[in-house]
Amino acid sequence: MAKQRVKFTFPETLVTEPLIYELSKQFQLVTNIRRADVTADRGWVILELEGDMPEIERGLTWIADKGVRVDPVEGDIVEG
Amino acid sequence: MSYATALRCRECGREYPIAPKHVCEYCFGPLEVTYDYEAIQKAISRESISKGPESVWRYRDLLPCDGEPVDLQAGFTPLIRAQNLGEALGLKRLYIKNDCANPTWSFKDRVVTVAATKAREFGFKTLACASTGNLANAVSAHAARAGLEAYVFVPSDLEAAKLLGSNIYGANLVAVDGSYDDVNRLCAELGDKYKWAFVNINVRPYYSEGSKTLAYEVAEQLGWRAPDHCIVPLASGSLYGKIWKGLNELAKLWLIDSVHTKMSGCQAQGCSPIITAYEAGTFNVKPVRPNTIAKSLAIGNPADGYYTLKIMAESGGSGAAVSDPEVVEGIRLLAESEGIFAETAGGVTIAGLKRLIAAGKVDKDELVVAFITGAGLKTQEAVADALPEPLHIQPNIAAFEEALSRRQAVAATSGAVS
């Protein structure tokens, strides 16, 4: 089993959708939220995903395709 | 022995022992080094610092390292009174902190000398980073100096010239195919998997402390006082926050009287998530996809964006975002008025300063320090098309004078038009 820390950023259109719930239903993933800030027009959630690495990757591709931005919790790693 | 006592989470305050670790296990917040300031106060004075080496290591009591420094003499760069630029902008006391004068020509040498020293102390054999330029150069050079192996990850569409500045030091260069976001995610995963010192991942808490030395130097070079106003380019926001931390540490240690400094930050409009949040009056930074010539500032998801906005509010500073043509104009203005050829980030700083003055955010009587973080030879393509062609002549005086009067006539015409 692998673990990955990620940050999801939700646009206004998706902020009311239960996408983290769906992520854990549709994929064999345990989602563990650590910090979040969600308002009516946007939101971010920092969480850990636990599962097989290919399943984590499939889940992240699925949620990104839905329109959620997926980033490392560290922010941008590539610096100038 | 260093005076670093622990790593503390900036979000929940939990503490961890000094180790190669960057994220709080509990809330995934970023970790920062804490110090025993009482002990530091007993150990240092203005006099003891002034006897130190002319590099960042003169402030070693305020850095989190125990081991022998991996030292290319980064830091102690010139603080120049910019009389000409000040007059052009209407400022009475403008200074330029010229960090072009570092071993690999950018401020990244400050952070990497600390990261490399700490990495060696922790027993790492490999120094690594993901970068589009300056950081890669600094990591490659310091790894060479320390006898460490270097792995440098770059986006595969990076210009060939930018690779050379790392390649020359014998680093392992890895070009990664994919979008900017893909490269970011891959490098975060690599940082988890390999037992390397990734300077801005697992040793980031130590690495970023190197930026504090900019504040120490400026205060010392001004005769032990804080500036009234700092103008800082913003990428992740780390440099900005560490300048603020550095000034406040000096006040805490009674090395300067007080910190009344306004901290202002500048970004390019093509990547301005922090300034956009500032202008919207929120602390929530919305990530963007960068599209600007100021590539060394092109961080669309800035790790320290929130903290930057807090400091901006606390210090009474402001923010400005500038267009790419303004960046070029800023580079030229600094070069033509002060003889300093900065990279695009410097153009952002000068153009941003100009905007802040126009908006009434910088007072003409303030003692202002603008931070120039890297040299222009690294980003020549940004300004090449904006510069006049040289005069091409045959080797005789008549040809020279004819070409010169042609040039002067063109200048007079364009001057009349504008």
For the stretch A12-39, pLDDT in tens is 999 999 999 999 999 999 999 999 999 8
% of chain B with per-residue pLDDT over 70: 99
Q: Using the beta-carbon criterion (under 8 Å), do A76 and B129 form an inter-chain contact?
A: no
| Chain A hits for B184, Cβ within 8 Å | 71-72, 76-78
> What's the rounded Cα separation, in Å, for the pair B374 and B354?
19
Closest CA to B244 of B224, B264, B267: B264
pLDDT, greater one: B255 or B179: B255
| Chain A hits for B181, Cβ within 8 Å | 70-71
Q: Return the number of CB contacts < 8 Å for A and B.
A: 98
Question: How close is the nearest chain A Cα to the Cα of B192, in Å?
Answer: 9
The β-bridge relationship of strands A69-72 and A2-10 is: antiparallel
The complex's ipTM? 0.92
The mean pLDDT value for B90-106 works out to 98
| H or E element in which residue B83 lies | helix B83-89
User: Around Cβ B282, how many Cβ atoms within 10 Å?
Assistant: 14
| H or E element in which residue B163 lies | helix B160-167
Q: Using the beta-carbon criterion (under 8 Å), do A78 and B132 form an inter-chain contact?
A: yes
The dihedral sign for the CA sequence B274, A31, B189, A56: negative
Over the Cα atoms of chain A, what is R_g?
Answer: 12
The domains of chain A are located at 2-72
CATH T-level assignment (fold) for domain A2-72 = Alpha-Beta Plaits (3.30.70)
CATH T-level assignment (fold) for domain B72-387 = Rossmann fold (3.40.50)
Judge whether residue B417 has pLDDT over 80: no
Q: What is the SS3 string spanning A18-66?
A: CHHHHHHHHCCCEEEEEEEEECCCCEEEEEEEEECHHHHHHHHHHHHHC
The pLDDT value given to residue B156: 86
The dihedral sign for the CA sequence B407, B411, B417, B418: positive
The pLDDT value given to residue B418: 45
- Cβ contacts of A70 within 8 Å, gap of 6 or more: A6, A7, A8, A60, A63, A64, B181, B185
Q: How confident is the model at residue B151 (pLDDT cuts 50, 70, 90)?
A: very high
| Chain B hits for A46, Cβ within 8 Å | 27-28
The pLDDT value given to residue B238: 97
Shortest CB distance from B131 goes to which of A44, A69, A80? A80
> What's the rounded Cα separation, in Å, for the pair A50 and B325?
46
| Chain B hits for A76, Cβ within 8 Å | 184, 236, 299-303
The pLDDT value given to residue B184: 86
User: What is the tens place of the pLDDT at every residue in B108-141?
Assistant: 999 999 999 999 999 999 999 999 889 999 999 9
Closest residue of chain A to B306, computed from CA coordinates? A75
The pLDDT value given to residue B415: 63
Q: Using the beta-carbon criterion (under 8 Å), do A78 and B287 form an inter-chain contact?
A: no
Per DSSP, B290 falls in state -
Residue B365, CB-side half-sphere exposure with 13 Å CA sphere: 0
Question: How close is the nearest chain A Cα to the Cα of B405, in Å?
Answer: 43
Closest residue of chain A to B234, computed from CA coordinates? A80
The domains of chain B are located at 72-387, 388-417
Question: How close is the nearest chain B Cα to the Cα of A74, in Å?
Answer: 6
The pLDDT value given to residue B416: 54
